[in-house]
Structure 1
Amino acid sequence: MPRSPLPLNALRAFEAAARHLSFTRAAIELCVTQAAVSHQVKLLEERLGAPLFMRVPRGLRMTAEGEALLPAVTESFDRMADLLERFDGGYIREVLNLGAVGTFAVGWLLPRLPHLRELHPHIEVRLSTNNNRVDIASEGLDYAIRFGNGAWHDTLAERLFEAPLSVLCLPQIAETLRGPQDLFSHTLLRSYRADEWSGWFEAAGLGVGPALTRAMMFDSSLAMMEAALQGVGIALAPPLMFERLLSSGLMVQPFDIYVSRGSYWLTRLKSRTETPAMAQFRNWLVETLRHTRMNSKTTSTGSGSA
């Protein structure tokens, strides 16, 4: 015959008594009488067929059986409490640990997170930003959004979109630029990828251009754009990620010339099983990108026919 389940009241009484090593203090915590706690522990001992406590002059001492049982009981109650706390509005709140390149997080993701929250209020996004150097395993990430060619060891990568680079600068600086060759009289700002400016100069028909003697390097496009905003120099960055600065007129794109050095990718470890929250986030991301592309094509078609 199957054994009957252990009574929760008895387990709770045992756990409290084991923490306090006192039936009296356990009773105060549980808002019951000392006799009730003692009775519940006795029921549990009879159910297990083993004593869990020994009475000593200053209270209680656990037996070897009690010490073996306590960690499992404590962990079980902690897990139940954690699960109950995750209920929110009729749903179980799920945590999604997401890492993202800072440029993508600020320029694309953050403005759209309210929409994700509206559709999936039970998903708690914990976002950490980086400069494209990330260790998914050691940082405990479910997903990481990276920039590159999609080839990362032991990683599944889904391409999101390309974000080509172009020249971005203050309007007053743009007024001094009659052609791409005029850039050489200014301080040029670049990321740690040394080939970006040379690639842009080739796309502009200037070959690889002269050596960049007046250049400053940054480990993030966000820091580079802040320097450009302060008039330090001219940046080479993805306009798609800085649409708000461009639409406000704080920054301008003086040349319709681009160079591509990679795409943004949604990545996760091959060994990571996709949770419901991960699947919902991924589906939302893909669908949002699809609508963005459709709206972009509609706008382009409308502009061309006007």
Structure 2
Amino acid sequence: MPSTSLARFSLNSLHAFAAAARHLSFTRAADELCVTQAAVSQQIKALEAQLGKPLFLRTARGLQLSDEGTRLAPAVQQAFAQLDAALAQFESSAPRERLTVAVVGTYLHGHLLARLPDFEARHPHIELRLQTHNNKVDLATETLDAAIRFGDGAWRSVEALPLQAAPLSPLCAPSIAARLRAPADLRGQVLLRSYRAQDWPAWAQAAGCPALVARGPQFDSSVLMVQAAVQGAGVALAPPALFTRELASGALAQPFEATVDVGRYWLTRSLTRESGPAWAAFRDWLVGRPRSDAGPMSARDFNDPTADAR
């Protein structure tokens, strides 16, 4: 049996893979590593040849991780983040600053989790503490520095920075999707529910089909609801953009193109609490800062189309 020792593999190849997996782009990985796109491609091909497995798939949705790549990426990215953090200790003896952030589970699953090693590598002196929530969080009373939540951004005494739009669409197991020819066919299916009762009626209106009444199990987490859909328990209504891995692997199907926009994800903090350098670093890493720090930003600062509707 051939050895699987780390010594067999090039650190350059592993580094290229970690960056490409994080960005899902060879070009952006090349920019991060200050090399050419061709160099990144060659390193990935060499690593795939050694493993005997493809690590990426080219799909209509763009570059995606294969099943093998999905299993390997977190370990490789974490290893490089830990190495960077260990080396950073020799560069500075500054104490670590703690930042506690509550995150809605869907955004953590579909976007943030895979990017955490990059934040740790860039900010080794920030101790990031994450708590999941079901979109019900009170920044004024809880011991939180920030929260990522879903909604329209109109929270009282809160600075809300728009992160990602999240149009909803039905998602289900491929075996169920094969039976769905038109949106009206959903009337014969178990429709899984979140706590937002208006979502299914809103999607039905957007899809131009008769009103849909969801009487299936109710979940306080879209991640759990989609996992139930993967198991064949019914049809979930969730953002496809945050379940790309499940869709790319074939575990999940999106039977209809129609989507409905009922909100987006926001990075928020209470304006009644003083912010520190750790908050600024996390904010800049996650959303950037498109203007000077003259004051809190709102949806209007980002030309968000929902701003005028509130």
**What is the Cα deviation at residue 266 of structure 1?**
0.8
C-alpha separation between the residues in 1 aligned to 2:231 and 2:289? 33
Query: SS in structure 1 opposite 2:120?
Result: helix
C-alpha separation between the residues in 2 aligned to 1:288 and 1:166? 31
The Cα offsets for residues 160-209 of structure 1, whole Å up to 9 and x where unpaired, read as: 121010010111111111111111111001211111111111111114x1
**Structure 1 residue identity aligned to 2:239:** P
Is this contact kept in 1: 2:201–2:213, CA < 8 A?
Answer: no
Query: Could you tell me which residue of structure 1 aligns to residue 121 of structure 2?
Result: 118
Structure 2 counterpart of 1:185, from 185, 188, 209:
188
**Structure 2 residue identity aligned to 1:166:** S
C-alpha separation between the residues in 2 aligned to 1:141 and 1:186? 40
Query: Could you tell me which residue of structure 2 aligns to residue 272 of structure 1?
Result: 273
Is this contact kept in 1: 2:161–2:287, CA < 8 A?
Answer: no
Task: Tell me the TM-score normalized by structure 1.
Answer: 0.63
Query: Could you tell me which residue of structure 2 aligns to residue 162 of structure 1?
Result: 165
Per the alignment, do residues 140 and 210 of structure 1 end up closer, same or farther by CA in structure 2, a change over 3 Å counting?
A: closer
Query: Could you tell me which residue of structure 2 aligns to residue 301 of structure 1?
Result: none
* Bigger helix share: 1
Query: Could you tell me which residue of structure 1 aligns to residue 226 of structure 2?
Result: 225
Query: Could you tell me which residue of structure 2 aligns to residue 60 of structure 1?
Result: none
Query: Could you tell me which residue of structure 1 aligns to residue 253 of structure 2?
Result: 252
Query: Could you tell me which residue of structure 1 aligns to residue 297 of structure 2?
Result: none
> Which structure: larger Rg?
1
Is this contact kept in 1: 2:100–2:144, CA < 8 A?
Answer: yes
Query: Could you tell me which residue of structure 1 aligns to residue 136 of structure 2?
Result: 133
Per the alignment, do residues 288 and 153 of structure 1 end up closer, same or farther by CA in structure 2, a change over 3 Å counting?
A: closer
C-alpha separation between the residues in 2 aligned to 1:211 and 1:174? 19
The Cα offsets for residues 226-273 of structure 1, whole Å up to 9 and x where unpaired, read as: 211111100000111111111111001111110111111111111222
Percent identity for Structure 1 against Structure 2 = 52
Query: SS in structure 2 opposite 1:113?
Result: helix
Query: SS in structure 1 opposite 2:273?
Result: coil
**Structure 2 residue identity aligned to 1:174:** A
Is this contact kept in 1: 2:204–2:212, CA < 8 A?
Answer: no
**Structure 1 residue identity aligned to 2:230:** L
C-alpha separation between the residues in 2 aligned to 1:228 and 1:114? 29
Query: Could you tell me which residue of structure 2 aligns to residue 100 of structure 1?
Result: 103
Per the alignment, do residues 211 and 250 of structure 1 end up closer, same or farther by CA in structure 2, a change over 3 Å counting?
A: closer
The Cα offsets for residues 17-65 of structure 1, whole Å up to 9 and x where unpaired, read as: xxxxxxxxxxxxxxxxxxxxxxxxxxxxxxxxxxxxxxxxxxxxxxxxx
Per the alignment, do residues 117 and 163 of structure 1 end up closer, same or farther by CA in structure 2, a change over 3 Å counting?
A: same
**Structure 1 residue identity aligned to 2:263:** G
Is this contact kept in 1: 2:172–2:236, CA < 8 A?
Answer: yes
Query: SS in structure 1 opposite 2:197?
Result: coil
Runs of 4 or more above 3 Å deviation:
none
C-alpha separation between the residues in 1 aligned to 2:224 and 2:134? 10
Is this contact kept in 1: 2:200–2:213, CA < 8 A?
Answer: no
**What is the Cα deviation at residue 215 of structure 1?**
2.6
Is this contact kept in 1: 2:200–2:212, CA < 8 A?
Answer: no
The Cα offsets for residues 86-117 of structure 1, whole Å up to 9 and x where unpaired, read as: x9441321111111111111111111001111
Structure 1: tracts of 5 or more residues without a match:
1-86, 290-306
Query: Could you tell me which residue of structure 1 aligns to residue 263 of structure 2?
Result: 262
Superposed counterparts of 1:25-36, under 5 Å = none
**What is the Cα deviation at residue 138 of structure 1?**
3.0
C-alpha separation between the residues in 1 aligned to 2:127 and 2:244? 27
Query: Could you tell me which residue of structure 1 aligns to residue 74 of structure 2?
Result: none
Query: SS in structure 1 opposite 2:246?
Result: helix
Superposed counterparts of 1:1-306, under 5 Å = 88-89=89-90, 90=92, 91-207=94-210, 209-212=211-214, 214-287=215-288
**What is the Cα deviation at residue 288 of structure 1?**
11
**Structure 1 residue identity aligned to 2:136:** R
**Structure 1 residue identity aligned to 2:285:** W
Aligned length in residues:
201
Query: What RMSD in Å do the two structures reach over aligned CA positions?
Result: 1.9
